[in-house]
Each structure stands twice: as structure tokens, then as C-alpha cells.
Amino acid sequence: MRPAAPERVRPAAARVVGGVRGLVGLAVLVILLYTYAIGGEAHGYNPFDYFGYFTNLTSLLAALVLMTCGALGLTGRRTPRWLAPARAVVTACMLIVAVIYNTVVPGTGSAPAWVSLTLHAVLPTLMALDWLLIGDRRCLPWSRLWVLAPYPLLWLAVVLVRGATDGWVPYGFLLPERGATAMTLTVLGLLGALTAAGVLVWAASRFPGVVLRRGTDH
């Protein structure tokens, strides 16, 4: 008897997953616009400062990735190869957002409490569960772990340059007056945490998922 061919993706399941992803992404985008509006009333409308916060910028990228995945799921279009690494990078960075905010700088945000809870706990949890449980992503090779680095390194470089020039930094632990040694240790700690998060995400890509299981549902 010939072995049964793998079952193809069930369109209904893909549409449901796509719809949920799209709604979550849209909700995050609305929250970011809301907090930008209320913060601008008090501190001025400066998008460079607002998105200078790693939480806000990474949440924006997460919203865009989720809405892209949602649109592809709803329309049944083929997923481009770059999307899985993009999801992985955003997921790893959202894990960093959760860990740093809830351990290093808890309660320091100026946004409403429900916004902080959403962006620093709920969204990272949803991104991690989406990556782990939904199997419509390919297994990421360890040789591509380096793609995790450019975005956070670029953000960190811009922040350090701004701190040394106009004096603005998003987080107190990045203040230049802390000294070169403290700053070096902080940067190394952040890079170590990022690498650990990336290893977890890359390892999780080997799990076939529960919904839209890789190799079973498609």
C-alpha cells in the first residue's frame, strides 16, 4: 500500500489564523497610534523619540509582520521566504522587550498601565505562542542566526549616537554619563540576552506546530 500523501493546508484553518493575526496586528497599531497621540499632547509629537523606544519600534514591526501574515493567510497566497526569518527576529526581540521591561526597568513607562501590560507582556506572549504553535513556518538553519543582529544593533547604534550628541536616550541604563565600562557591560548584556532569545526562537522553529502543522497540514 502506498503511503498517504501529506494533507494540504485546510483553507478554513489558514483563514482563521490569518484573521486572528491581522486583528492582533491592527490592534497593536491602534494602540501605538493612541499612545503617540496622548504622549504628543504632553511632550510634543516627535516620532523619532517615540519610536526611539525599543518597545514601540519593535511593536510596530510586530504589527506589520502580523498583518502581512494575516493578509497572506486570508488570501491563500504563498508565503515569501523572507517572512519566516522576519517573524523570528521580531519574536526574539519581543522576548527581549518582555524580559528587560519586567526585570530591569519595571514600571518606568509613562503610558497607561493597560498599554504597558499589552506591549510588554501580552504581545510578547502572543508572538511566542504564534511562533511555537502555528507551524506555517520553515525550520530555520543555525547558519542564518546572524539575521537576528542587524535590527537591534542598528537601533542601539542610533541610540548611543543620540545619547552622545543631543543627550536623548530612551532608557536610563543607556545614559552616557554612566561611564564607558558600565555602558560596555550593558551592551554586552543586551547582546547576550538577544542571542539567548534568538537561540530559543531558532530551536522552536524545529517544532512542527499544533495548528497548520508543518509536514502534515501543508
pLDDT the model gives residue 215: 53
Taking 70 as the pLDDT cut, the residues of the chain under it are 1-10, 42-43, 106-109, 214-218
pLDDT at 76: 87
**What integer pLDDT is reported at residue 79 of this predicted model?**
87
Beta-strand ranges (E) seen in the chain are none
Would you say 148 and 92 are in contact if contact means Cβ atoms under 8 Å apart? yes
- pLDDT at position 40 is 75
**18 vs 14, 23, 82, 113, 218, CA distance in Å?**
6, 9, 18, 29, 15
pLDDT reported for residue 92: 98
Task: Report pLDDT for 7.
Answer: 43
Confidence at residue 3, expressed as pLDDT on a 0 to 100 scale: 46
| Phi, psi angles (nearest 5°) of residue 69 | -60, -40
Predicted local confidence at residue 63, as pLDDT = 98
